[in-house]
Amino acid sequence: MFNLPDLHQIALMLPAIIIGLTFHEYAHGMVADRLGDHTARHMGRLTFNPMAHIDPIGFLLLFIAGFGWAKPVPVNPNNLTGDARQGMLLVSLAGPATNMLLAVASAMALGLFGMQIPYGREILGWMISINVILAVFNLIPIPPLDGSKILAGILPGRQEWFYQMEAYGTIILLLLLFSGVLGSVLRLVIRPIVQLLLAFAYNLNGPFI
């Protein structure tokens, strides 16, 4: 289930992991800040400094398990202007959406000039893969992942299941992880998206082979 990368592979993956996690959490904090909740700013989380966002376990799992997480940015829904549920939906969407934008931008960079620079193909390839992984993984509707807050914001009424599940969400995720179920399901979604972006990149560079 787990594959330990060698030092060379770690070096190629590292920029993608640091950028993907940092931009994901910064996006959450920035949207919350724009919507009136300045908690992230006051706690020093509205920053591009990766040390403010890296969760050691989630960071290591991205290397060995293929998916992981950062430290969640604190958000107080009571401070959000307007509808708090809709505000939380936008805040939660910001992270995965940013990762997908990074994946698309990386595919464009790979196609336009990534083939011509040393290790450009490998580094940008990891930028695509890691950011798609972060986007898809965080859209799983299990607390504390973003997908649960997005679903709670879309469904009508007060979502009691969300509050009840919060206490067990991490345990459920770990069980799914170590059973291998989570990895198998995620790969079914992640692989076609990555292949599509790689095809897009190679078409920008020339005929895709």
Q: Could you tell me which of 73, 98, 90 has the C-alpha nearest to residue 19?
A: 98
- For residue 209, pLDDT over 50 is answered with no
Give the predicted TM-score (pTM) of the model: 0.90
Among the residue ranges 16-20, 147-151, 159-163, the one predicted with the least confidence is 159-163
Whether residue 29 contacts residue 41, with contact meaning beta carbons closer than 8 Å, is answered with yes
Q: Which residues contact 108 (CB under 8 A, 6 or more apart)?
A: 200, 201, 204
* pLDDT mean over 168-193: 86
pLDDT tens by residue, 8-43: 999 999 999 999 999 999 999 999 999 999 999 999
Q: 198-203 long-range contacts, Cβ below 8 Å, gap at least 24?
A: 198/107, 198/110, 198/125, 198/128, 200/107, 200/108, 200/111, 201/107, 201/108, 201/110, 201/111, 201/114, 201/124, 201/128, 202/111, 203/111
C-alpha pair distances (Å), 201 with each of 52, 54, 75, 78, 120: 32, 29, 36, 43, 12
Our answer to whether residue 122 is catalytic in this structure is no
Q: How confident is the model at residue 156 (pLDDT cuts 50, 70, 90)?
A: confident
pLDDT value of residue 107: 96
Among the residue ranges 17-26, 127-136, 147-156, the one predicted with the least confidence is 147-156
Q: How confident is the model at residue 102 (pLDDT cuts 50, 70, 90)?
A: very high
Of these residues, 25, 122, 160, 166, which one is catalytic? 25
Q: What percentage of the chain carries pLDDT values higher than 70?
A: 93
Which residue is associated with the tokens 């006051």? 42
